[in-house]
Chain A
Amino acid sequence: MTTTEPAAQPAPAPEPRHGRRLFVLWLVLSLAADLLIWFAWKPHLPPGDMSDAARHQQFDIAVLAISAAPVIVFAILYFVYALVVWRIRPGDDAAGDGEPIYGHTKVQVSWIVGTTVIVMWLFVFGTVELVTPAGAGAGEGPSPIWKLAGTQSATWTPGGKTMLDVQVIGQQWAWTYRYPQFGGMESSELMLPVNTPVTFHVTSLDVIHSFWAYQLGVKADANPQVDNVAYVTAKTLGSVTVRCNELCGIWHGAMFNYGHVVSQSAFQSWASGVQAKEKADGVLADLPPYALTYDPTVIPQMGENLIKIDGITGAAGYYYPPSDPVTP
């Protein structure tokens, strides 16, 4: 098939083993990147280690980064190598073409297999990390599947593994929190006891907000008429930034406040104190009975009259006038 070259020409220089070079370079760089990520970067990864959900997320992001780094290194290394080695230099035959390589089955198959393996690994790992920390701090809707272990009780006392229920109410444009185990008292400050399983019930009174407690690694959308459940256990004391994460109107950017994780006894005395104060004020009696969702236009104390005056979703919103039927 090939013709022998004329004897007078010297043999061409052997083609360097590009594949081997690339492999070695890739191995060294990926190892370096992965080690750097694991030891230098991981302790500082967001969202920190203040809660179990946050710690799992930290671990999860670190593993993702370690899985991704070799891929990024491979792609960038290959392109840089190709651009350096195979570019047209001045003096080259500028009009010549490259080798007509249409495909290479082994390369294509190993690529497909390799990427599939990486993807399946990430899927399995992600599912494990989703299930183990009871949903990874994400809002699971009204019927959560991955629950946190903890005893349900009508009142909360420090010391045991009693689950603390906290209802997060989003309204335009402030966050308030209700503690049903303390008589349904409401507070505009989020206080949580350390080392306690907490169930957040996130709901909204008007439009869609999203409860993002950054240091706790919790994010759950607040939808009207929907109870969105998220779980977390705070592990260290500190302050928590709560921001609204879903565009909810004009002051969305200003809808944030700060919460605190305190010791269990400090939390107990704070919560009882607020409950007592609100009882004395009469506010506790004025609040609607604790429920998982609220329809702000149905005010029990004022009865049906409110709808007849102001219409559905009124409270003087008057968008659906009183003459509209209540149910479609």
Chain B
Amino acid sequence: MSVTARAASLFVAFIVVAGVVTFVAMYYIGGASALATVHYAASAGQVNVVLQEDPQNDSASKPDWVSYYVQDPATQKWVHTTLFSVPANTKVNVTLYGYDGCTPLRNNYFSEVQGTIGNTVTLSQFDQHGKEYLTDKTTSVINAWSDCTVGHTFAIPGLNLYVPVASPNAQLSADNLCSSSPCTPGGNPYAKETFSFMSPAHAGVFRWQCLVPCGGGFLDGNSGPMQTLGYMMGEMDVVSS
């Protein structure tokens, strides 16, 4: 080939390779930033974080995966993400709605509430008609192995925070669970938990995960949604105020 032909083909090859590398780098490898982060701002020294966990989700690729949702404080709408931020050194009040059915923990130690203020959670449970069959029970243990009681957990190991999330009881779980996400209280049985903890004094990113092996169809249940950001694990960003 002549010199110009060689130079031209080298240039084209370079552009193609550089393009592919950039595309893969930005789209597949750097793709974690595709998830939205919900920002909570402090008012009167406290923030109110609202989360829910559903038996399925509204994504197109993995509709059968269980998933958390975070409520945007500004719009009150449920965002399909697990990234949220809270200010540092603030009392964080968490309200967690549990719509998914029960699954036993692999390690029942995590039935014990740890790391919250008072080491307790306050639990209410509702059936699909809206009737509150358990009102404001403050408890330090929700035993995942006694009956159908725990759906998932919310754990921030970096803060030693471990909270089991109750599920609707066995009778209600059978054929009554929420079937379209994001779930709403009307027509679906659910559990509502509230607890509080202090966010740390210094800024940083704290991972959080669920300790119930709820990745259906995967060995030991700890894959799939359990290992994918935006479903059952996420990050709490503590920002300095």
Hey, which bits of chain A sit against chain B, CB under 8 A?
169, 171-174, 176, 186, 188-189, 205-207, 249-251, 254-255, 257, 278, 281-283, 286-288, 296, 299, 301-302, 306, 310, 313-319
Contact = CB atoms under 8 A, between A and B. Distances in A.
Nearest to A253: B207
A254 B218 contact: no
11 contacts: A171-B211, A174-B155, A205-B106, A249-B227, A301-B145, A314-B221, A315-B103, A315-B106, A316-B213, A316-B215, A317-B222
Contacts of A306: 104
Interface string B47-59: 0000000000000
A316 B227 contact: no
Given A206-B106, A206-B213, A286-B143, A188 B160 contact: yes
B141 A281 contact: yes
Interface string B1-42: 000000000000000000000000000000000000000000
Contacts of B145: 286, 299, 301-302
A317 B220 CA distance: 5
A72 B51 CA distance: 60
A296 B107 contact: yes
Interface residues of B, number: 38
A254 B221 CA distance: 20
Contacts of A249: 222-223, 227
B185 interface: no
Nearest to A169: B107
A171 B107 CA distance: 8
A254 B226 CA distance: 15
Contacts of B104: 299, 302, 306, 315
B94 to A, nearest CB: 19
Contacts of A317: 213, 215-222
Given A171-B211, A315-B213, A316-B213, A257 B108 contact: no
Interface stretch (B80-88, B109-117, B127-135, B186-194): B109-117
A286 B146 contact: yes
Nearest to B219: A319
- Most chain A CB inside 10 Å of its own CB: which residue of B109, B215, B222: B109
B79 interface: no
Contact of A316 (B108, B160, B214): B214
B178 interface: no
A168 to B, nearest CB: 12
A173 B155 CA distance: 10
Contacts of A287: 108-109
A186 B109 contact: yes
B96 interface: no
A205 B107 contact: yes
B63 interface: no
Contacts, number: 110
B141 A172 contact: no
B149 to A, nearest CB: 11
Main secondary structure of the interface of A (DSSP, over half): loop
B146 A254 contact: no
A233 to B, nearest CB: 27
B220 A207 contact: yes
Contacts of A288: 108
A205 B215 CA distance: 15
Interface in B194-241: 207, 209, 211-223, 226-227, 233
B217 A286 contact: no
B198 to A, nearest CB: 18
B140 interface: yes
A108 B225 CA distance: 62
A244 B207 CA distance: 16
Q: Which 10 A-B pairs have the closest CB atoms?
A: A317-B221, A296-B106, A316-B103, A319-B219, A186-B109, A206-B220, A283-B112, A250-B227, A301-B145, A315-B213
A183 to B, nearest CB: 13
Contact of B112 (A254, A278, A302): A278
A289 to B, nearest CB: 12
B221 A316 contact: yes
- Most chain A CB inside 10 Å of its own CB: which residue of B114, B162, B213, B217: B213
Given A282-B141, A283-B112, A286-B143, A176 B219 contact: no
A193 to B, nearest CB: 22
Contact of A281 (B112, B157, B162, B213): B112
A295 to B, nearest CB: 10
Contacts of B215: 316-317
